[in-house]
Amino acid sequence: MARLISLVEDGHPALPEVMAALAPHGGHAHVVGLTGSPGVGKSTTTAALITALRARDQRVAVLAVDPSSPFSGGALLGDRIRMEQHATDPGVFLRSVASRGHLGGLSFATPQALRVLDAAGFDVVLLETVGVGQSEVEVAARADTTVVIVAPGMGDGIQAAKAGILEIGDVFVVNKADRDGADDTVRDLRHMIQLGNRERSVDWRTPVVRTVASRADGIPDLLEALDAHRSWLEESGALEARRSQRARSEIEAIALAELRRRLGGEGGLVSDELASAVASGRTDVYAAASRVVGAVTALPSSQ
């Protein structure tokens, strides 16, 4: 599995063949995304969830995305250190991947890495994002269930209602609930849920769970909420709809990457000559875009 995920990260030429072989074996794992601002306890919550899931004899994979340095391009990949108590468990697979500058809290390789883990037969795949802000909500498009973790002191109710990241949550967790201000945070979240027009899950009553992940307090309640959401997804048909949308976005991303490779190589879809023509005023951006589209449609089809 580690080698296959490395193939994904490196964009190896054999990747299409590998994914074709894995495709019939996927579609069984419950993919749970955990996101939230830095310092709210995502890794601690993930480790506590692993313990609870393993107590039910479920196989668990963790894909933890670490931020890459904008200067060196390197990443610490330190989440496995925080989860070292599970490192020798044969029913647990831990993998850290670097974001490599990709926005949205995830890595460009995340979708195919998730498919590798799903095909490997894990019951639950935990996807832990880098610390994200209000608008970086890509995890919702990659997970069956999105867990948004917050901590006391996140701000007043108005700020909570404005935060875009809170609009994606299927389950909210107030971690470090033994701290002052936890009651206020829970109240603000519940008020926001009542006010929000959550059209994508109108029949799902979004729970707010209190936890102290460092002591495993509230983790059984969180697990119960995850089970309830999985059941709702299956009964309502939302699970199939979400996975279809996920596949659509993956297809588009791969198709665009291939078009860039065919037309412009590393430089992208737009040639230097065309960009210079727009910059110098010899043509306009709409005419240039039409030329790019024309070049794409003129490409020969391949099987």
Last residue of a domain, one of 217, 236, 255: 236
> Looking at the domain assignment, is residue 303 inside a domain?
no
Number of domains in the chain: 2
Residues 232 and 251 in one domain: no
Q: Which domain holds residue 255?
A: 247-297
- Same domain? 165 vs 62: yes
Cβ(245)–Cβ(141) below 8 Å: yes
Q: Within this chain, do residues 124 and 256 fall inside the same structural domain, yes or no?
A: no
User: Is residue 111 domain-resident?
Assistant: yes
CB 50 within 8 A of CB 60: yes
Q: Using a cut of 0.85, tell me whether the model's pTM lies above it.
A: no
In a domain, 186, yes or no: yes
Residue 294, Ramachandran bin (φ over 0: left; ψ between -120 and 50: alpha; else beta): alpha
Report pLDDT digits (tens) over 133-148: 544 466 667 899 999 8
166 shares a domain with 26: yes
Judge if 80 and 180 occupy the same domain: yes
Same domain assignment for residues 42 and 135? yes
Q: List Cα–Cα distances, 39 to 59, 122, 143, 150, in angstroms.
A: 27, 28, 22, 9
Are both 194 and 256 inside the same structural domain? no
Q: Is 217 part of any domain?
A: yes
Tens-digit pLDDT profile for residues 171-223: 999 999 999 989 988 988 888 887 765 554 467 889 999 999 999 999 999 99
Q: Please say whether the dihedral angle defined by the alpha carbons of residues 146, 200, 101 and 263, taken in this order, is positive or negative.
A: positive
Specify whether 283 is located in the same domain as 140: no
Domain membership of residue 273 (yes or no) is: yes
Q: What is the pLDDT of residue 80?
A: 53
Do 24 and 90 sit in the same domain of this protein?
yes
d(CA 177, CA 299): 57
Mean pLDDT for the chain overall:
81
> Does 109 share its domain with 177?
yes
265 and 227 co-located in one domain: no
Same domain, 212 and 271: no
Q: Is residue 241 situated within a structural domain?
A: no
Q: Which long-range contacts (CB under 8 A, 24 or more apart) does 156-162 make?
A: 156/188, 157/187, 157/188, 157/191, 157/192, 160/185, 160/188, 160/189, 160/192, 161/191, 161/192, 161/195, 161/196, 162/134
Q: Each residue of 250-286: pLDDT tens digit? A: 888 888 877 877 776 555 678 888 889 999 999 999 9
Of 236, 265, 283, the position where a domain reaches its end is 236
Residue-wise pLDDT for 21-41, tens only, equals 999 998 899 999 998 888 888
Q: Are 172 and 148 in contact (CB under 8 A)?
A: yes
The amino acid at 71: F
The verdict on residue 302 lying in a domain is: no
